[in-house]
Structure 1
Amino acid sequence: MKEYKIEGLSCASCAADMEEKIKKLDHGESAAISFNASKLKIDEGANISKVKKILASDGASLITNEEQHDHSHTHNNKLKLFLGISTGLFLLTIIFEASFPNILSVIFYLTAITMSGYQTFIKGLKNLFRLKFNIDTLMTIALVGAISIGEWKEATLVAILFGFNEYLEGLGMEKARKSMEKLLKVAPKEAVLIKDEVEKVVPIDVLQKDDIVLVKSGEKIPSDGIVVDGISSVNEAAITGESLPVEKEVNAEVFGGSINNEGVLKIKITKAFEDSSLAKILHLVQEAQETKTPTEQFINKFAKYYTPFIMIISVLVMTLPPLFFGGTWGTWFYQGLAVLIVGCPCALILSSPIAIVSGITRNARNGILVKGGVFLEQLGKITTIAFDKTGTLTKGEPHVEKIVEYDNRLLSIAGAVENKSSHPIAKAIMKKVEEAGAGFSESDEIKTLSGRGIEATVDGIKYFLGNEKSIEHLNFNEEVLRDIDELKAQGLTLVIVADLEHVLGIFGVSDEVRQESKAVMDKLRQAGIKTVMLTGDHIQTAKKVANQVGVSESHANLLPEQKVEKIKTLNENGSVAMIGDGINDAPALAVAELGIAMGKGTDSAIETADIVLMQDHLGKLPSAISISKKVNKVIKLNISLALGLKLIALLLTIPGWLTLWIAILSDMGATILVSLISLTILIENKVK
């Protein structure tokens, strides 16, 4: 499959018509035109010349790689020029009509009509011969009808206003597309490859795994990798949406597309660019534009029946009053033509796509990947969110929460025993030892006791570090027993340090709750969303975390299949989203109406869920929900405006007040409002 950019694509129904025609070509069966992204995907064997002809028949053009330049700017300038000349001729003729010969006025009007509406005429006439009734067909019939009854002035005004309307439609959609394209331009184009101590600038697509690249201050990191030399801060906003820079040193992971703020970094590439986090993100964002939401599908179906319905109404308006109520044929023929123009479903069709593209773009800027319009729409309807505990509400890393010290040797002995261990709990204990500045000797001998802990010799004395089983040789006094029970009741994992005779102290270890978790739960509750925690951990730990973060309810000791059952139960009472790490929670993520993964670029998270939180924390979740709700509100408002303005215009036919220019203004007014309202989604504002 090859992908091409299309210019001049401003009409969703026209895009669907062109797609149908292209599919009838040899090797065109798999062709797909994305109106939102303004792109065509087609089999490489298809005849591109024939494809270009089909597109050209509807005023669109295919841009190949060699032709990539500012075609849209040229197309818009041409349209603006023609509309400007048409408007000038129209005004000139109105002002001097009394002194012009009648034939000259007709020529000026006809020239203005042709220049502003020639594309509509060509497409409309072709559709008439095929008995295909769409927007262009309606406009062509209306204009030919107006000319046939000598309404030159109104016919010209309608042609100019319709041309202006088409221009505005294209402008609104182009604005949303350009906002998306700007987002996609974060990908670097070149990299400085170091080979045999020689630096060479190469395209990023030639980089391979294990290549070493040099990234100077202000330059983009070409692909995912590991820092092998240098210290710097890196702006990862393109990947995670986080505005604050992240400090990087040797062995730190970096993402392609992030920017080196200062210093020089040497990076070992771990993934070719096409497999990198950024490439996956860009691909997902582009794919997201092409999915149709239930609302869009409904609008497209509705428009299919709506246009013929309007034509029937138009014929009835033209014929019923003269036949049965003594109306004059000329007056009601004119009214019927106005009904045809009112019936153009331009604004209705535009109600959704600009809003959807704007919502996906806005979320992507914040580091939230929504894999399609359907998921964006669904996110705004969520009533319950189920959270995994480990790695979602908590950091998924052990953290020493409490220290009970009976002997001042506790930290120095713990440091001597744990300093060479890579175990996560050992690292958490070492962090506390280092924070306290406790000095320690090297242990002489370390022996692992399976299921118990560690036995070690320090300065000739034997020590034990582990759970209660590791110190069964001791008789605990009442104080130690009380402290053990108290720490366990708090849901803490115990690491006890002792010698052959005494307990030196106890470390109470827990999975540290994410800093933002409580604030996020508060915001979700204020938004009327129920929060539920599902965890495989034991009840005490679950209760502790649930109380700390403030979830509505929690369920502990759950196996993966039990999490699935809980999600199914929750689904019965509303729309449920599940948030997890994208690996352990895959079954629950799949069963939920919406699967949301914690990510920061991990392949599994990106591939598993419908939405990915690239920051790897929940901070931007309320913002994403707020944006999605706004998108849904905007689409509903757009549909109401589009249909409401048309209904008002149609009601004007009852007293016979509807004119051609009022008809086109009602359609154009709706289109302008729909486009402008949809584009407000792109405006950044602080979500409370």
Structure 2
Amino acid sequence: MTETAENMESIVSSRLLVTGIDCPDCAAKVEKAVRRMLGVVNATFVFPSGSLNVEYDPQQTGVTQVVDKIKKLGYEAREDDQKLSEISQTTDFCIAGMDCPDCAAKLEKRMAKVPGVETAQVNFGASKMTVVHSAPVAEILSTIEKMGYSGKVDEGYRIKNEPASFWKSNQYVKPTAISLIMLISGLVSGKLDAPDLIVNGLFLTGIFLGGFLPAKNGISLLISAREFDMNFLMTIAVIGASALGSFEEAATVVFLFSFGNALQSYTLDKTRNSIRSLMKLTPDEALVRRGATEITLPVKEIVIGDTIIVRPGERIAMDGKVSTGYSTVNQAPITGESIPVEKRPGDEIYAGTVNERGSLEVKVTKLARDNTISRIIHMVEEAQGQRALSQQFVEKFAKYYTPAVIFLAALVAAVPPLALGQPFEKWFYEAMAMLLVACPCALIISTPVSIVSAIGSAAKNGILIKGGMYLEEVGALSVVAFDKTGTLTEGKPKVTDIIPTDGIPDKEFLSIASAIESRSEHPLAEAIVKSAKEHGAEISSISAFEAIPGKGAKATIQGKTYQIGNSRLFTEQAIDVKRVEDKISRLQNEGKTVMMLGDEERILGLIAVADVLRENSGQAINKLKKAGIKKVIMLTGDNESTAHAIATKAGVDDFRADLLPEDKVDAIKKLLVKHGKVAMVGDGVNDAPAMAVSTVGIAMGAAGTDTALETADIALMTDDLTKLADAIKLSRKTLGIIKQNIALALIIKGLILLMVVPGWLTLWLAVAGDMGSSLLVTLNGMRLLRVKHED
């Protein structure tokens, strides 16, 4: 055995769990650094799970050395304990009192250090935390409380408790009210020349009772996670001001701080609950028929295969298929469609939609916890938790901002008194005021509140965006590529032309053709039979049916033999087709498939069938161009003439025909090289490879397609392509608001800090500026909840 082979046999593999990495670029750098270590053969970072798989020679290095290397890079790491993994579970927790993304990041970091916790991911947008753990749930809840928050196990979307009142749900309301009462009492007492002991006592009471909650939370965070937050910085500033005898100003600071937190908590709750409000649309019970018995059951007891009865005007409780009845259904909560959709036996029905006219019987196809609206809410909340590129940049900036301002505050307190002989009290006071500006809350919240609002707004309008990254990317698109079949076209062949050539009326002509085709299962045959029914043509009975593979079919109708098929069927029987060749050529140039109907002697006429363009495809492409898309291209596996006909009608700029799935992938890659940002729009299944390599993969008609919901970056819940332009406009509006928010936060913070130079900064002004900027960016981001989407 060679030395190399011996070395390979001694290679050991280990899996490390790494915490603190929040972007793929950081993960790649860690992977690269570990690979360069002596003795490391290979290192692969799996970003979604936060794990690093390492192969190494134990004679040269070990897990301890790799962990030390990762820690030097600024992250925490530990070896994955397989025994723990075998008994681990995943639990979702609802977190109350978390009103800043920076606080969310600190909670995530602290939770990862709890023994028995493998991974912890905090979703600030949804106010939830997902923990993979073997530790007891009680220990996790205890850690949440030690960090200053309250938590409970998320029991699922079907639990629809009545919302608590504003006074109970918002923890800052009571401290705000108490601090305001004490502040006003102190000010009034001062005006009435009450003794200083009473006046200051009222101010101190307001400071203690109003500031107890933030002080408790800030100190808990410092003890548990060794981190500073706005609560702790405010506590230090208020204690410093009180020590200087500025009781009135300290009480004012406590009130403003508490009031700002109460307002911010209220506005963030409105943002977070915007998408959950959809769940209220689903009834808690439904009328079920089991055998001969009709009984009202809670939805959690209804199983797949049950039949529910939906009366006119009722909301539909379960996903399923219509088994009996005809009605129109308002599907706006799921698809964003403003016009009710006709439903008949075999059509899909979604929970939360409204039955408008007739009575329906629906066979249940999904359990309540798995229905489309529950999955949409789950996916949207996951999407709201994904960090956008701009958010990652802001969070990196904020890591340096806070320590820099604290350092400057220390200089302000020390330099003027020591170097310039200035009064210590004045500059110590200025330093305390600076501490209140050190927390980057407004800056950090500027991006996620906009992303959360935009994704929620899109979902309520039938556009499911899987994360902030895709929301940003769709606004930067320059090219959109469409699949043809089922995307630009309806995906089902339809009869477009009926041309009798022997004086036979259209109905009689269709009656003969559909009678023969009624025995065939070919899609073109189905189109002819459907057209006959739509025209009211009677489908005659036939005998002696014979299918002729690759050519057509023949049958006897009322004692006479008729045949339908392509030109080969007739030319092989020496039947003259020259008199219809011009018509056939014209129809084929339009991208249509032509079939001839005749008897045993002559051609009786032509029927043209085609996959027709969707009604709104042309409108959608026009909207895309108005939205700034430079090029629209169609990719299809159809032949050149069919592709050319559809491309001309749709108004696309270019097309590629005769493409296999791998050819579509190559086409997208070439477009990416030439144009930069390219979207691929398809059905989410057949076009998955091309969608995967594009900048953004967009699936349409995803409401009834599980695969499309899972695979696409953006899913249009209905077949309305015009919503794609709405998504692009929403993205650009979102990016605009994010830029406004970042600029607003930085400008306000900058102006406040500049006031230190002449010594004009006061505690109450610092709090008002800091909390005010947080509220402004939150309210500005919430404007996206009210974005109007064009019909």
Of 727, 733, 757, the residue aligned with 1:624 is 727
Determine if contact 1:76/1:167 at 8 Å carries over to the other structure.
no
Determine if contact 1:58/1:119 at 8 Å carries over to the other structure.
no
Corresponding residue of 1:383: 478
| Separation (CA, whole Å) in 1 of partners of 2:376 and 2:788 | 24
Of 229, 251, 274, the residue aligned with 2:324 is 229
Determine if contact 1:8/1:72 at 8 Å carries over to the other structure.
no
Say whether 1:591 aligns with 2:693: yes
* Letter of the 1:83 counterpart: T
| Separation (CA, whole Å) in 1 of partners of 2:537 and 2:314 | 42
Q: How does 1:313-332 map to 2 (within 5 A)?
A: 313-332=408-427
| Separation (CA, whole Å) in 2 of partners of 1:441 and 1:47 | 72
Of 493, 496, 515, the residue aligned with 2:615 is 515
Higher alpha-carbon deviation: 393-402 or 140-149: 140-149
* Letter of the 2:207 counterpart: I
Corresponding residue of 1:215: 310
* Letter of the 2:528 counterpart: I
Shift of 1:477: 5.5
User: TM-score scaled to structure 1, two decimals?
Assistant: 0.94
Q: How does 1:14-413 map to 2 (within 5 A)?
A: 14-42=103-131, 46-64=135-153, 70-71=163-164, 73-76=166-169, 79-97=172-190, 99-126=193-220, 132-409=227-504, 410-413=509-512
Corresponding residue of 2:68: none
Shift of 1:349: 1.8
Shift of 1:475: 5.2
Say whether 1:426 aligns with 2:525: yes
Higher relative contact order (CA 8 A, sep 6+): 1
* Letter of the 2:190 counterpart: E
Shift of 1:275: 4.0
Of 487, 497, 512, the residue aligned with 2:587 is 487
* Letter of the 1:584 counterpart: N
Say whether 1:527 aligns with 2:630: no
- Secondary structure of the residue aligned to 1:155 is helix
CA 1:116–1:234: 2 relative to 1, 3 Å: same
Shift of 1:571: 1.7
Say whether 1:669 aligns with 2:775: no
Higher alpha-carbon deviation: 22-31 or 611-620: 22-31
| Separation (CA, whole Å) in 2 of partners of 1:507 and 1:614 | 34
Higher alpha-carbon deviation: 510-519 or 451-460: 451-460
Determine if contact 2:494/2:610 at 8 Å carries over to the other structure.
yes
Corresponding residue of 1:543: 644
CA 1:295–1:479: 2 relative to 1, 3 Å: same
Shift of 1:62: 1.9
- Secondary structure of the residue aligned to 2:256 is helix
Q: Deviations over 1:500-542 (max 9, x none)?
A: 2222212222111001111110111011113111111111111
- Secondary structure of the residue aligned to 1:256 is coil
Shift of 1:438: 4.2
Shift of 1:248: 2.0
CA 1:426–1:335: 2 relative to 1, 3 Å: same
Q: Deviations over 1:52-96 (max 9, x none)?
A: 333333442223569966457344566323212312321332233
* Letter of the 1:286 counterpart: E
Q: Deviations over 1:564-611 (max 9, x none)?
A: 011112222221111101111011111112111122321121122111
* Letter of the 2:517 counterpart: E
Shift of 1:326: 4.7
Corresponding residue of 2:54: none
| Separation (CA, whole Å) in 1 of partners of 2:376 and 2:163 | 25
Determine if contact 1:4/1:40 at 8 Å carries over to the other structure.
yes
Say whether 1:6 aligns with 2:109: no
Shift of 1:195: 1.8
| Separation (CA, whole Å) in 2 of partners of 1:411 and 1:249 | 25
Q: Deviations over 1:206-264 (max 9, x none)?
A: 33332222222333333332222222222222222213222222333322332222333
Determine if contact 2:302/2:367 at 8 Å carries over to the other structure.
yes
| Separation (CA, whole Å) in 2 of partners of 1:563 and 1:377 | 24
CA 1:72–1:360: 2 relative to 1, 3 Å: farther
| Separation (CA, whole Å) in 1 of partners of 2:646 and 2:358 | 41
Higher alpha-carbon deviation: 424-433 or 595-604: 424-433
Say whether 1:641 aligns with 2:744: yes
CA 1:131–1:280: 2 relative to 1, 3 Å: closer
Gaps of 5+ in 2: 1-89
What's the RMSD between the two structures over aligned residues? Answer: 2.4
Higher alpha-carbon deviation: 608-617 or 23-32: 23-32
| Separation (CA, whole Å) in 2 of partners of 1:254 and 1:379 | 30
Higher alpha-carbon deviation: 6-15 or 480-489: 6-15
Say whether 1:577 aligns with 2:671: no
| Separation (CA, whole Å) in 2 of partners of 1:558 and 1:498 | 35
| Separation (CA, whole Å) in 2 of partners of 1:517 and 1:687 | 15
Corresponding residue of 2:785: 682
| Separation (CA, whole Å) in 2 of partners of 1:125 and 1:431 | 73
CA 1:387–1:684: 2 relative to 1, 3 Å: same
- Secondary structure of the residue aligned to 1:375 is helix
Corresponding residue of 1:460: 559
| Separation (CA, whole Å) in 1 of partners of 2:305 and 2:182 | 66
Higher alpha-carbon deviation: 78-87 or 630-639: 78-87
Corresponding residue of 1:562: 663
Determine if contact 2:627/2:728 at 8 Å carries over to the other structure.
no
Determine if contact 1:214/1:264 at 8 Å carries over to the other structure.
yes
CA 1:52–1:433: 2 relative to 1, 3 Å: closer
Shift of 1:478: 4.5
- Secondary structure of the residue aligned to 2:697 is strand
* Letter of the 2:524 counterpart: I
User: TM-score scaled to structure 2, two decimals?
Assistant: 0.82
Higher alpha-carbon deviation: 596-605 or 61-70: 61-70
Corresponding residue of 1:451: 550
* Letter of the 2:276 counterpart: E
Determine if contact 1:8/1:75 at 8 Å carries over to the other structure.
no
| Separation (CA, whole Å) in 2 of partners of 1:19 and 1:477 | 76
Determine if contact 1:121/1:136 at 8 Å carries over to the other structure.
yes
Higher alpha-carbon deviation: 567-576 or 316-325: 316-325
Say whether 1:612 aligns with 2:705: no
Determine if contact 1:474/1:502 at 8 Å carries over to the other structure.
no
Q: Percent identity?
A: 40
Of 583, 590, 596, the residue aligned with 1:496 is 596
